[in-house]
Amino acid sequence: MATLFQLTERASQIEEALYETGGEITPEIEALMTETAAELPAKVDNYNALIQKLTAMSENCDREIKRLQALKRTADNGAKSIKGHLLAAMQTFGFDRLEGNFCKVSRRKSRALSVDEATLLAGFPEIAELQATLPDYITLEAKVSKTVIKAHEKESGILPTGCEYTDNESIQIR
């Protein structure tokens, strides 16, 4: 059986032969047309079967990705929960460090910058005014950079409205 490329090439040959004969269909051209017409439906069916197989494979991959993502979320949530229980136990008993046979666990304190974007952006009404002047198909998205806020605070000593530091505690396992 000829490939789709070969069938397409054969169609070009038929067209060329028809130009050479002035549009007259010779027995050779008719035989080539009949042979091509007979092979084309089977080729189309084969291509369709391949397309269906690849589409099904793609759908199976999508389902497997979703299944694995759910499994990952479950594992992440489980690890986070267990770390929380371990931290709570260490806090309850007043331990800063614990040593097991295979690992060391210590409490770690950190400060994180929390930003209430609505409060922070409320101080800049010109953003809403500018958005009102634009057509509906253009939207502005205001982004808040914690890095720039920290640099601003370091330079000026002032933390913008809607921003605050929170103390966090977590565990570190080595």
Longest dimension (CA), the chain: 100
The pLDDT of residue 27 is 87
User: Residue 144 and residue 141: Cα distance in Å, rounded?
Assistant: 10
Cβ atoms of 118 and 170 closer than 8 Å: no
Q: How confident is the model at residue 115 (pLDDT cuts 50, 70, 90)?
A: very high
- 122-161 per-position pLDDT tens digit: 888 898 889 899 999 999 888 899 999 999 999 999 999 8
Q: Is the pTM of this model over 0.75?
A: no
Highest mean pLDDT pick, 4-13, 17-26, 127-136: 127-136
With b for 16 or more beta-carbon neighbours within 10 A and e for fewer, the 145-160 pattern comes to eeeebeeeeeeeeeee
The pLDDT of residue 81 is 97
